[in-house]
Amino acid sequence: MKNLKTMLTLLAVISPLLLKAQSAQSQQNATPNVAQVHMVITDAALQEDKELPSLQKEDVKVKQGKNFLQVRQLIPAQGENAALQLMILIDDTLNTSVGNSLSDIKDFINAQPSSTVIGIGYMSNATVNVVQNFTSDHDLAVKAVRLPRGNLSTMDSPYLSLISLVKGWTQQNVRREVLMVTDGIDRLRGENPQPSRLGPSFGTVYHSMPTISVDATSASEISQRYNVLVHSIYAVGVGRVGRSSWDLQLGLSGLTKIAEETGGECFSLGTSQAVSFKPYLDRLQKLLSSQYYLVFLAVPKGKGGLQRVKVETELSNSEILAPDNVWVAAAAGK
């Protein structure tokens, strides 16, 4: 009897411990694998004439669907973390009148801190002619800036040129950003064959580009895949499409789409030629000076892919510019 009482007493003590252990194991098994992901975000002022508060980790919320993801770190892109690779791309189809604003670009380059390395490239034939590789010698970058040629090639697409650049860009743990100076017009795919609505007897009919270039979407997705922020300055190009209000608006819409989806900014006066790029570049400088590395946890899927997230803050006078999507590697063991 005494032994029975002893056994019952031991069971009474051990049983709760077993239940807790099982519960903990069950919770652990129920918790999905998580992946640590990184993105660069920009803290932009809603009103330029008011103070922009510094972001703290607890100020930033990352939302995926209805769920909030855990923010692990928020690191200001300053001091030892200020490294920036900035590629300036100028479209060779631009009207040479843009030359009046090239001095603004040169001044902007000279104003960059030593932590910024700058490359200069010209877009034509669906690729980029890099005339100056990334350099911390800003004088070299300034000397590489020239007038656009103001003519057409056989494959003019700023979006394919951007894709070519991003795909060949060696990944490093620094900020990687692009400033495109272009009208955004896809001259390569400017005409699309479509079946005639009047019937088969009319055959296949060519129409002007009815929507934003399909390559703008691809360029946006690839830039987000490789954590490249894309900014743009709208400038007027050459040729008939450079005078077409329809094509001009489509080009500006493509540039705006890429900038907003990658966490960048598109600068324009509608489809009018800006007298000076200086106000745009001053604004860009403020954005570059208010950037952060954001580290948070996401739930990986069966294979790696882009996942939609929304980065927000409730701080007064603060608006976060961030990519619409982040690349999340495949779940472990998949």
Residue at token pair 């005494």: 2
User: What sign for the dihedral angle of Cα 256, 261, 262, 265?
Assistant: positive
CATH number for the domain harbouring residue 87: 3.40.50.410
* pLDDT exceeds 60 at position 31: no
Please, how many CA atoms are within 13 Å of residue 274, restricted to the half-sphere of its CB?
Answer: 20
3-state secondary structure of 201: helix
Cβ neighbour number for residue 38 with a 10 Å cutoff: 15
Same structural domain, 148 and 284: yes
Residue 11 lies in a domain: no
Q: For residue range 296-306, what is the model confidence (pLDDT) as tens digits? A: 999 998 888 99
Same structural domain, 219 and 110: yes
Same structural domain, 168 and 225: yes
The pLDDT confidence band at residue 21, using thresholds 50, 70 and 90, is very low
* pLDDT exceeds 50 at position 24: no
Number of domains in the chain: 2
The pLDDT confidence band at residue 51, using thresholds 50, 70 and 90, is confident
Residue 223 lies in a domain: yes
Per the document, the length of the chain is 334
Strands 84-91 and 116-124, how do they pair?
parallel
- State the chain's mean pLDDT as an integer: 87
Q: For residue range 181-226, what is the model confidence (pLDDT) as tens digits? A: 999 999 888 666 667 777 777 777 666 666 788 899 999 999 999 9
Same structural domain, 95 and 193: yes
Residue 267 lies in a domain: yes
Same structural domain, 225 and 276: yes
**Helix spans in the chain (H):** 2-30, 99-110, 138-144, 158-167, 214-225, 245-262, 278-288
What is the mean pLDDT of the segment spanning 94-114?
Answer: 96
Residue 9 lies in a domain: no
| Spatial distance between the Cα atoms of 297 and 56, rounded to a whole number of angstroms | 17
What is the pLDDT at residue 147?
97
**Encoded amino acid at 160, one letter:** L
* pLDDT exceeds 50 at position 4: no
What is the mean pLDDT of the segment spanning 86-99?
Answer: 96
Copy the structure tokens of residue 264.
């960048």
Range of the domain at 98: 83-288
Q: For residue range 140-164, what is the model confidence (pLDDT) as tens digits? A: 999 999 999 999 988 999 999 999 9
* pLDDT exceeds 90 at position 110: yes
Same structural domain, 150 and 230: yes
